[in-house]
Every structure is written in structure tokens, then in C-alpha cells.
Amino acid sequence: MKPEQPPGPPDPSPIQFSPAPAVQPRATLLCLSHLRWDFVWQRPQQLMSRLATDYEVWFFEEPQFDERPEPYLEVREVAGGITVLVPWLPQDLGEQRIISLQRQLLDGWLAQHHQAPLLLWYFTPMGLRFTRHLVGQVVVFDCMDELAALRHAPPALAELERQLLERADVVFTGGLSLWESRRERHDNVHLMPGSVDIAHFAHARLVQAEPADQADIGRPRLGFFGVLDEQLDLVLLRELAMRRPLWQIILIGPVARIDPASLPRQPNLHYLGPRDYQTLPAYLSGWDVALMPFAINESTRYISPTQPLEYLAGGRPVVSTPIHDVVECYADSGVVSIAATPQAFIEAIGLALDLTRQPARLQALADRALQGMSWDSTCERIKEQIASLRHAL
């Protein structure tokens, strides 16, 4: 597919990379991400940490801004040999200057470090603004979310996604709804759903030492971990806390895109803040029921959350609002209950608490729902798709 040229004044000649030799060196995977590596551990981290066993992974984040007058590229190595690249730019720049400086910093890095075949992986279409001059062996669009529906989404995002769909060799979607909405827009779309590190979360099925900030919270405990943002149903949380004051509701995760003051405050609502991915099983082991209290709105229309799988791997029953992909995938599991109103949510939690008194049945239902759902298996299918495209060159 022929790359488009950016609008405006002509740029220097595009950077071209020679076709791979018959015996290919370890290829480089340049990942353009809207999420930061050190944010909540989710799809980008799960996939890139596994792909790093086969590729040299460069994880290019969105820019940060400070008072330094000159732009620079922060470079750091993280576990698994992944290189995280963060462009730092001066404050108060116009949009075109921001795009130009990101390209300049990335091109400088490529000129100094790039020798192997290049693969381009986009989690965000916004990355196309400063990379459309690059020519990679394979261009991947990993559509993990309906980004245009999120609060404060850039106006250009929808048009950039259209352009990226034209350029991409393959499109992966993180859930069923996204696959249904993209399959008519590209001829090589594959459902690669959010999965789970079963072994990691299975530690929650064992007796764990209580984290200090959870140890003194009473029971029963109802828990949620994830980003606290516009996708949460704050009215539902408030109603649940008020109607069942003896139920203790624990929420773990950073607050994003909403005012923290908008979060409901009740004595039985416990906001513990963000916690490291490695510690989540210890928190989960101390919960009785896991919650999916998502709002039903435009921002959640296409989400396919991974929490149900993580909760089930930890041996906990789940109660969720009627998110489309959760209903399609888990409504008949016997261990994930769907409830559309606060009263129905409360009743479903009561039934889930009853299920916890049948541990053998609970674990059997959870294990059945988990069959075939692991990040390892998803990543192997992704590698097969990429290898097939590279072989066809």
C-alpha cells in the first residue's frame, strides 16, 4: 500500500527501508500508543511484552510537555527488553509544530538505531500524523477501543482512523463489537479479544497476605480494579453504597478524564488508588464478589473489558451491567451475572454471594468460562498473522 504524503509544505524524502533479505534479522516493531507504558497494565503491555520475544519492540508514547526550550527524546528500557520512547516538547506549541517535532525526534532515533526490517503497530490513529512517511514491512492497526467515543477525543481521530484503515495490512480488534463494526471497512480484520494471564490471577485462589490498606475493611467485600473514568456508572455506585451500607465496595485504579470530586463518597466506598499489576491478585483474593459497574453510554458501546476474565481466573463471581460484549461472551456462563438497574445489581450480588458458599461449583464454572482465553494464545495467533504477511512479501 502506497503511503500518503502529509499536507502542507513538502517534507524531506520519505525514509525507505530495504526489503528483508532471505535470512531476516530480528525485526523491529515500532508501537505507537495512546497509553503510557507505566499506566494500568492492559492490552498494549500484555501484547508487547510477549511480542518482544520475537521482535525488537520500541514503544513510542504520546508527547509530554515541560519548560525546557528544546525537544528531546526520553529513552528507557523496561522489563523484557522493551525500549520506551517518550517525546518531551516545549509548552504552548501549535498542533503542526507538535506533529513536526514528534517526527523529528522519531526520525532521529531511527537514523541512529534502525537496521532491521521495520513493522509498524498502531494502537492510536493519531500516530499516523508523524509516521505516514515511514514504510514498514507490515502495518498493523490494533483497534483496542472506540477511541473517538472517549471524553476529550481529538476531533481529527475519526478521519485519521479512516486513513489508517486504508494503509493497514491487517486490523486486530480487541472485542466482538469492534470486530463487527470494522469488518466491512477492511478486508483483513481479525478478532483478537482481550485475554488474561491465568497463572498470574490464579494466585488469588490461594490464601494471600492481606494488603495493608485492605486488611481492616469489613465484609462482604465487593471489588473493582481498572481506570476510574467516564465509563463508570457513578449513579449505580452511589445507589449500591447507600442501599447496602454494610457491603464494602473497593475500587482500585487511577482517576482519568473525570473530576475526582464527582466520585460518590460513602463510608462503605473505599478508593485505594492505582496499584501495581503484580499486587492485584492479593487484593482480589480478599474480595467476595467482583464488580463491573460500567455505564451504558457511547464510551462503553464497543468496549470488551478484560476484567471478567481476570476476576474469573482469580476464582471470583462477577456482576456486570449489560455491556454488549460481556453479555455476548459470559451471560450464559453461570458465574457472570448481568443486571441493568441498581436493584437488579443488588439482587445479582446477593446471588453471587450465595455462589461463594459453593466453592467447588464456583471454580468449575469459572474454569469453563476461561477455556481458550489467554494472552499467550492470542499473541500466538497474532504472530501467525504477521508471519504470514511477511512471508508473502
Q: What are the backbone dihedrals phi and psi of residue 5, each rounded to the nearest 5 degrees, phi first?
A: -95, 145
In this model, does residue 24 exceed pLDDT 80?
Answer: no
In this model, does residue 21 exceed pLDDT 90?
Answer: no
In this model, does residue 115 exceed pLDDT 90?
Answer: no
Is residue 264 in a domain? yes
Q: Indicate whether 361 and 340 sit together in one domain.
A: yes
How many other C-beta atoms can be found within 10 angstroms of the C-beta atom of residue 6? Answer: 18
In this model, does residue 138 exceed pLDDT 80?
Answer: yes
Q: Indicate whether 206 and 343 sit together in one domain.
A: yes
Distance CA 177, CA 323 (A): 10
Is residue 152 in a domain? yes
Is residue 118 in a domain? yes
Mean pLDDT on 260-281: 97
In this model, does residue 8 exceed pLDDT 80?
Answer: no
Structural domain for 246, as ranges: 198-370
pLDDT at 25: 67
In this model, does residue 250 exceed pLDDT 90?
Answer: yes
Is residue 187 in a domain? yes
Distance CA 174, CA 4 (A): 27
Residue type, 316: R
Is residue 217 in a domain? yes
Q: Indicate whether 212 and 170 sit together in one domain.
A: no
pLDDT at 4: 39
pLDDT at 18: 46
Is residue 11 in a domain? no
pLDDT at 17: 46
* Cα 17 from chain centroid (whole Å): 30
Q: Indicate whether 60 and 83 sit together in one domain.
A: yes
- Evaluate whether 214 touches 272 at the Cβ level (below 8 Å): yes
pLDDT at 311: 98
Q: Indicate whether 243 and 213 sit together in one domain.
A: yes
Instruction: Identify which of 29, 375, 1, 382 has the alpha carbon closest to the alpha carbon of residue 186.
Output: 1
Chain segment 139-172, per-residue pLDDT in tens: 999 999 998 888 888 889 999 999 999 999 999 9
Q: Indicate whether 365 and 221 sit together in one domain.
A: yes
Model pTM? 0.85
pLDDT at 271: 98
Q: How many structural domains compose the chain?
A: 2
Mean pLDDT score of the chain:
93
Q: Indicate whether 186 and 261 sit together in one domain.
A: no
pLDDT at 12: 43
Is residue 22 in a domain? no
Residue type, 286: G
Q: Which of 222-226, 332-336, 372-376 is the least confident region? A: 372-376
Is residue 358 in a domain? yes
Please list, in sequence order, all residues whose beta carbon lies within 8 angstroms of the beta carbon of residue 194, skipping any fewer than 6 positions away: 42, 43, 144, 174, 175, 304, 305, 306, 309
Q: Indicate whether 250 and 354 sit together in one domain.
A: yes
Q: Indicate whether 235 and 218 sit together in one domain.
A: yes
In the chain, the percentage of residues whose pLDDT exceeds 70 is 94
237, exposed or middle or buried, with CB in 10 Å at 0-12, 13-18, 19+?
A: buried
Q: Indicate whether 161 and 231 sit together in one domain.
A: no
Distance CA 59, CA 61 (A): 6
CATH number at residue 227: 3.40.50.2000
pLDDT at 149: 83
Mean pLDDT on 183-203: 95
Q: Indicate whether 205 and 56 sit together in one domain.
A: no
In this model, does residue 226 exceed pLDDT 90?
Answer: yes
Q: Indicate whether 188 and 212 sit together in one domain.
A: no
